[in-house]
Amino acid sequence: MKGFIRTCKADPAFWSVLLIVFTISGISLAVFSSREIFFSLNSIHTLYLDTFFQNYTLLGDGVFSIAIFLILLLVERTALAMQVITSYLFSGIVSQLLKRAVQAPRPHAIISNAEYPYFIEGITHTGTTSFPSGHTTSVFALATILALNTKDKRFSLIYLITAIITGYSRIYLGQHFLADVTAGALIGTLSGLLVYWYLRQVRIEWVGVERGESYLKYY
């Protein structure tokens, strides 16, 4: 708990905005149905926005996180690279296990084209793997790791806003409900935090062993 408080104090803007987003999402889910929220968030559709979000949503694809991992290795940011790939894998495993356990229907599985004419053929999926949103999980894990490791905290807000827009893209494209995206964001954020703390501790212990010193001296 003390570690989490120190982390929040180190970047209050990031965690404050994140808390506001989760609070608004939680209140909305408590007051309105998933269908009502889905229709409200998708009241505006244009060809330009369709194209924009079809491309923007790729930031939540696993390929993007792997690409960031490889780039970090190339620029010799090995510690950060390991945090990125570990948080991606850990959050992805949690997400996939929940998808198979919950079996929640995607929007297009329960909402017809007559009710909602904006489903995009070839893009929008059906089925029962809606909860949680895997893309949102991935991008929030990445954003959290990058934010925790950046010295210029203005960039941490950019990472967060990027993740939020990616989460919204999943709703805009008819792939998920707000509950799926909110759960994905929570899983991704917590995964990033856990991996950050754990790998930093392992690194501190290893440095202590190499120097013949106790890692406790490095806290």
% the chain with pLDDT above 70: 88
Distance CA 142, CA 132 (A): 16
pLDDT at 210: 47
pLDDT at residue 122 in the model: 80
Q: pLDDT tens-digit profile of 122-159?
A: 887 888 999 999 999 999 999 999 999 998 888 999 99
Range of the domain at 110: 2-218
Q: What is the identity of the amino acid at 104?
A: A
Long-range contacts of 1-5 (CB under 8 A, 24+ apart): 3/197, 4/193
pLDDT at 61 over 80: yes
Provide mean pLDDT across the span 39-51: 95
Return d(Cα 200, Cα 186) in angstroms, integer: 21
pLDDT at site 179 = 98
- For the residues 87-98, what does the mean pLDDT come to? 97
Phi and psi at residue 200, to the nearest 5°: -65, -40
* Mean pLDDT value of segment 49-57: 96
The count of structural domains within the chain is: 1
What pLDDT sits at residue 205?
47
pLDDT, mean over the chain: 90
pLDDT of 202: 65
Residue-level pLDDT at 26 = 98
The long-range contacts involving 72-79, CB below 8 angstroms and separated by at least 24 positions, are 79/199, 79/203
| pLDDT class of 164 with cuts at 50, 70, 90 | very high
Position with higher pLDDT, 132 vs 210: 132
Q: Taking 50 as the threshold, does the pLDDT of residue 49 lie above it?
A: yes
Please answer whether residues 51 and 159 qualify as being in contact, where contact means their C-beta atoms are separated by less than 8 angstroms. Answer: no
211 or 93, higher pLDDT:
93
CATH of the domain at 154: 1.20.144
Band of residue 1 on the pLDDT scale cut at 50, 70, 90: low
State residue 188's pLDDT score.
98
Model confidence at 4, pLDDT cuts 50, 70, 90, reads low
